[in-house]
Amino acid sequence: MKKVVIMGASTGIGYAVAEALASRGVKVGVAARHTSSLKALKEKYPDFVEYQNVDVTKHDAKGKLESLVEKLGGMDIYFHVAGIGYENVSLDPEREVEIINTNAAGFARMLCCAYRYFRDNGKKGQIAAITSVAGTKGIGRLSAYSASKKFGQTYMVALEQLAHEEGAGISFTDIRPGWVKTPLIDADRKYPMEMSVEYVVPYVIRAIVKKERVAVIDWRWNALVGAWRNIPNALWTKMKVKISDPDTPLPTFDEQKCEETGK
């Protein structure tokens, strides 16, 4: 039986994928900073769920991941969902750094741990991660966010090259959704081509099961990012990229933070 660890599973895509897998009899290890929902999932599927408190920005995250893997009895797939995201037009440096610490430094920390687990134990594992269509181009209103997502995409390419060099037998799946309406995205704001969690989850699971290298969700976003790639930066930087309904006030900083990003 496959054993899947999901990092960033307290809400949104991570939680929904965990529940979908556990309901199908897959053993799932779930981790996040906040564990109340993880505990409830464990109570609902006691034979198929283990959970652990993990903050990917902390140095003890490696040991906590190892503890979760031990409780689960091993790991075949590592799925990284943890991230934060919000608009920061004021360019408050502390907010930018917080995004980078979670989405880039935390991403690297946890994927390193997963890679080393598979390599050092001689396991042909899989590393999957939610990045974002925002990683295609630098988006002014999401400067640190889009840059951090590009980091994640490039980091996975680098690890894949290393895996081939070392003969590690590790496969990689980069999942890039557009806007997903999770409970942690402000309900009063309207985002372009929004998708529900229920709509996205089957695409996510299929990408992991089929070991797709890059999966853009969905076809509309795939077409859009294909067009984005062909826009020269000299033109792109002069464009106004709409993120959400400008007539709706932005949430406060605390309300915009999310543990499992919706995009």
How far apart are the C-alpha atoms of 237 and 21, rounded to whole Å? 42
Res. 202: pLDDT tops 70: yes
Q: What is the pLDDT of residue 241?
A: 78
d(CA 110, CA 71): 18
Output the six-digit token pair for 164.
């081939």
- CA–CA separation, 214 vs 247, rounded Å? 34
CB 113 within 8 A of CB 162: no
Task: Identify whether the C-beta of residue 256 lies closer than 8 Å to the C-beta of residue 189.
Answer: no
Torsion of CA 100, 102, 108, 111, to 10 degrees: -150
In this structure, what token pair is assigned to residue 102? 């979670």
Does the pLDDT of residue 16 top 70, yes or no? yes
* Averaged pLDDT, 202-230: 94
Residue with more model confidence, 96 or 193:
96
Q: Answer yes or no: is pLDDT of 155 > 60.
A: yes
Q: What is the mean pLDDT of residues 19-28?
A: 97
Across 53-57, 85-89, 178-182, 231-235, the highest mean pLDDT is recorded for: 53-57
- For residue 55, cis peptide bond before it (omega within 30 degrees of 0): no
Task: Report pLDDT digits (tens) over 88-143.
Answer: 888 899 999 999 999 999 999 999 999 999 999 999 999 999 999 999 988 888 89
Banded pLDDT at 252 (limits 50, 70, 90)? very low
Q: What is the pLDDT of residue 89?
A: 86
A 10 A CB-CB count for 215 gives: 19
- pLDDT value of position 181: 80
Mean pLDDT of the chain: 89
The pLDDT confidence band at residue 240, using thresholds 50, 70 and 90, is confident
Q: What is the pLDDT of residues 161-186, one digit of tens each?
A: 999 999 999 999 999 998 888 655 56
Radius of gyration of the chain (CA): 18
- Amino acid 185: pLDDT: 57
Average pLDDT on 227-244 reads 85
What contacts 1, CB < 8 A, 6 or more positions away? 25, 26, 27
Where is pLDDT greater, at 192 or 71? Answer: 71
- For the cut 70, the answer to whether the pLDDT of residue 43 exceeds it is yes
| The pLDDT of residue 88 | 83
> 3-class secondary structure for the chain?
CCEEEEECCCCHHHHHHHHHHHHCCCEEEEEECCCHHHHHHHHHCCCCEEEEECCCCCCCHHHHHHHHHHHHCCCCEEEECECCCCCCCCCCHHHHHHHHHHHHHHHHHHHHHHHHHHHHCCCCCEEEEECCHHHHCCCHHHHHHHHHHHHHHHHHHHHHHHHHHHCCCCEEEEEEECCEECCCCCCCCCCCCCEEHHHHHHHHHHHHHCCCCEEEECHHHHHHHHHHHCCCHHHHCCCCCCCCCCCCCCCCHHHHCCCECCC
pLDDT of residue 105: 97
